[in-house]
Structure 1
Amino acid sequence: MNRQEKAQIIEQFHEKAARANIAVVTDFKGMTVEEMTDLRAKCYEAGVDFQVVKNTLARLALKDTDHGELSEHLKDNCAFALGYEDPVALAKVLTDFAKTSKKFELKFGCLEGKYLDADGIKELSKMPTKPELLSSVLGTMQAVPRNFVSLFANIERKFLYALVAIKDQKEQGEAA
């Protein structure tokens, strides 16, 4: 790999890392091509970039980003997962894959400039994803008007029952 290719890799990775709100470093040593392909497919579905970058190039690329702190922890084989929208989705994909693969391992990460160890990433994966949170908020927002309408419907219904009872009572009084 010549200098120009390295500079291009650094520039591309820097641009991705600068946009990402979460970056997770993983160990992929000993994984098969099929496992890596499966992991990349799952990451792609979740909107996550997963790529292997040499540590020296990654250190240069991570400078002046929120994830610059990761540079000092890079050792051995490293692959980077970068998430742009939902950090929980990234954590869930990687944690679930780590459960099924014996050779894949979460090392550490950085969420919006804050360092996370492997346990922190696992804890993040237990949180609800952005769509789950949005549906919960929407359900809560819809509950108030729904309950309000239901309350008035019940009042009208009870009023109608009272009128029907009065009518039935008058009809019985006339029949007697």
Structure 2
Amino acid sequence: MARPDKAAAVAELKEEFQSSNGAVLTEYRGLTVAQVTELRRSLGQNARFRVVKNTLTKIAATEAGLDEQVLDLFEGPSAIAFVKGDVVEAAKGLRDFSKANTPLVIKGGVIDGKPMSPEEITKLADLESREVLLSKLAGALKGKQGQAAALFQALPSKAVRLAQALADKRAESEQS
């Protein structure tokens, strides 16, 4: 029979895996408490950084239905950044922090149920934030609407100018 505190920890981790948009697994060996606190602050409001026990986390990940590739990453001291919201922002925070603090190593993770390698997470961090991408898309769509409106306005005005030119030509030929 499992101890109630361990069963509660597994249930909590399982809930974190299921309710998060992503989970990035890291190795934190060599980081001081102050550095871990700084990392938690740098991740912002969308991510929660937790130091976890591998055995309990493997059980929770299995119960949450995560891929076998992710379960293989639970070696050595592990910590997970559970992301709710913009995954790109959290990936940038982890990448930037790991550049400044070499003891933090990104092992991999799961984004929207898909296993991701450390390289893929770094590529994700290179993307612009969701808000920036959406605003660029909105700007592009607005520009296309303006072009379409100008095109639709040009057709009738060209037809009117053509009709006027024909009328002028006819009047000119009648006078001659």
| Map of 1:24 onto structure 2 | 24
CA distance in 2, matches of 1:77, 1:91: 20
- Name the SS of the counterpart of 2:37 in structure 1: helix
Q: Is residue 62 of structure 1 aligned with residue 82 of structure 2? A: no
Offset, 1:147: 4.3
**Residues in 2 aligned to 1:146 and 1:66: alpha-carbon distance in whole angstroms:** 48
What percentage of aligned pairs have identical amino acids?
A: 29
Aligned partner of 1:42 in structure 2 is: 42
TM-score, normalised on structure 1?
Answer: 0.77
State the one-letter code of the partner of 1:56: T
Shift of 1:20: 1.6
Long gaps (5+) in structure 1: 157-176
> 2:130: which partner in 1?
130
47-56 or 63-72, which moves further after superposition? 63-72
Matched, 1:112 2:130: no
Q: Using the TM superposition, give the Cα deviation of residue 31 of structure 1 relative to its aligned residue in structure 2, in angstroms.
A: 0.5
1:101 and 2:101 matched: yes
State how far apart, in whole Å, the 1-side matches of 2:140 and 2:117 are: 34
Distance in 2 of aligned mates of 1:16 and 1:26: 16
8 Å CA contact retained: 1:25, 1:109: yes
Q: Show the counterpart of 2:78.
A: 78
Q: What is the Cα deviation at residue 64 of structure 1?
A: 3.3
**Residues 16-37 of structure 1: CA deviation (Å, up to 9, x unaligned):** 1011222111011111111100
User: Does 1:11 find its partner at 2:14?
Assistant: no
| Residue pair 1:66, 1:112 contacting (<8 A) in 2 also | no
Corresponding residue pairs, total: 154
Distance (Å, rounded) in 2 between the aligned partners of 1:135 and 1:53: 37
* Distance change (3 Å), C-alpha of 1:64 and 1:147: same
- What secondary structure, in the 3-state scheme, does the structure 2 residue paired with 1:63 have? helix
Displacement of 1:86 after TM fit?
2.0
Q: Would you say the 8 A contact 2:44–2:90 is kept in 1?
A: no
* Closer/same/farther in 2, CA of residues 38 and 120 from structure 1, 3 Å limit: same
Q: Distance in 1 between matches of 2:38 and 2:66?
A: 26
Residue 87 of structure 2 is matched in structure 1 by 87
- Under a length normalisation based on structure 2, what TM-score does the superposition of the two structures give? 0.77
Inter-partner Cα distance in structure 2 for 1:116 and 1:144:
35
Q: What is the aligned partner in structure 1 of residue 162 from structure 2?
A: none
Displacement after TM superposition at 1:143 (Å): 1.5
